[in-house]
Amino acid sequence: MKRYVYADNAATTRLSMKAYEAMKPYLLNEYGNASQPYSFARSSKKALKNSREIIARCIGALPEEIYFTSCGTESDNWVICGAAKRNMSIVTSSIEHHAILRPCEDVQRVNGNVQFLPVSEDGLVSVEDAKRSMQNSCGILSVMFANNEIGTIQPIKNLAKAAHQKGWLFHTDAVQAVGHVPIDVHELGVDMLSASAHKFNGPKGIGFLYIKKGIELPPLINGGMQESGYRAGTENVASVVGMASALEENVRVIGDTNLYLQNLETRLLDGMRHQGLIFKRNGALSHIFGNLSLSFAGQNGETLLHRLDLNGVFVSTGSACDSRRTQVSHVLKAIGLEGSLAKGTIRISLGRYNNTDDVEYLVECLGKIVLDNKLKA
């Protein structure tokens, strides 16, 4: 088989074998509808209960604070649309994923009650800016835990504290962080948190929203009484089981994985320097290990992506959802990256299934391509 290196783990991750095995019975034999009262549905119901407990434990929440959704996008939309229905003001950052930005833009068009905070050149939101922006008596501050393009981790605890001082709620889109950064929602003071299983070696099309007990968020999807009446739709039992299994596994080895990824990152950066490559790394101050946004002046990120692809190396130019656009991403614009550097940016995101051979091959290919492009220019 042709050699390939998958280095786009911020877009999605490989399903864990353990999660796959855990899901199998619920895809084949245990297919009872978890909402039915008869004994054949008991196993599905129990699987949902166990999974909810596992997930809650992994983020320091209570089981009844976990609501299963179809993805991170749904969890984010639930929060923003719920806030809008309650006429709450919304403050968010300018570097959020489109799963937050688009519903916020919709709300902004309807009632003008949304503010977008700027970020520093490292992609950090200022807690002071956030405080100044929360003027109305009730609102939601929503700031992502870690950015999907540049990996920057925000000062979540301080932002949550600032929101509470103003009497506001705090939500974080933690899709890139859950399973990668130790998270305890109570310790951090988070009121709501979005997550998505496919970012932590779970299956695609399943996620969850943590909602702190006592907070009333109107449902986004109305219908049946699943998820205590807050999220209608027959439960995706197999995927919920896979999500819980993957999260439990990732959280158990989180410290070792981060050391491993830190080491791979260092090898990659050293290897590139050794090849004589000149680049700027974006958002490195406080970041998700393995996520590297690299800018090469005079290069074209799209061309780099396609030439790496021809060599069996898969990286991204920005977020996966942006890959069909050719404009500079809103995140690179927000950190004030100069035009030529922004155009020449790729995102390499390493995961726990990558190894040192992958990194060496990636560096070798990137080195050849960048130098070859320079000679042609």
The residue ranges that bind ligand PLP (CB under 6 A) are 71-73, 76, 97, 99, 144, 148, 173, 175-176, 196, 207, 319-320
Indicate the residue among 144 and 209 with the shorter CB distance to ligand PLP: 144
From the candidates 81, 138, 321, 365, give the one annotated as an active-site residue.
321
Give the list of residues 6+ apart from residue 127 with CB closer than 8 angstroms, or none: 155, 158, 159, 162
Instruction: Tell me the closest approach of the beta carbon of residue 179 to ligand PLP, in angstroms.
Output: 13
Q: Report the nearest approach of ligand PLP to the CB of residue 172 (Å).
A: 10
Q: CB-based burial of residue 197 (10 Å sphere; 0-12 exposed, 13-18 middle, 19+ buried)?
A: buried
Least distance to ligand PLP, CB of residue 197, Å: 8
For ligand PLP, which residue has the nearest CB? 72
Residue 281, strand partner residues = 294
Contacts (Cβ under 8 Å, ≥6 apart) of 367:
272, 275, 276, 277
110: number of Cβ within 10 Å: 10
Minimal CA–CA distance to 57: which of 245, 258, 255? 245
Nearer to ligand PLP, 183 or 369 (CB): 183
| Cα 82 from Cα 86, distance rounded (Å) | 6
Q: How far is the CB of 109 from ligand PLP (least distance, A)?
A: 21
Residue in the structure block whose two tokens are 């090469």: 296
The answer to whether 90 and 80 are in contact (CB under 8 A) is yes
Distance separating alpha carbons of residues 122 and 153, to the nearest angstrom: 10
Residue nearer to ligand PLP on the CB measure, 101 or 277:
101
Please say which residue, 66 or 175, places its beta carbon nearer to ligand PLP: 175
How many C-beta neighbours within 10 Å does residue 115 have? 21
Distance in angstroms (rounded) separating the CA atoms of residues 278 and 294 = 10
CA distance linking residue 332 with residue 319, whole number of Å: 11
Judged by beta carbon, residue 174 or residue 363, the one nearer ligand PLP is 174
Task: Pick between residue 30 and residue 322 the one whose CB is nearest to ligand PLP.
Answer: 322
Lookup: tokens for 30: 């245990």
Give 178 or 359: the residue with its C-beta nearer to ligand PLP.
Answer: 178
Minimum CB separation of residue 70 from ligand PLP in Å reads 8
Q: Contact at 8 Å (CB) between 173 and 72?
A: yes
Asked about 321 being catalytic, the answer comes back as yes
**φ, ψ at 144 (rounded to 5°):** -65, 150
Report the DSSP beta bridge partners of residue 10: none
Q: Give least dist CB 311 to ligand PLP, A.
A: 25
Cα–Cα distance between 171 and 211 in angstroms, integer?
9
Torsion angle in degrees (nearest 10) through CA of 369, 372, 374, 377: -120
Catalytic residue IDs: 321
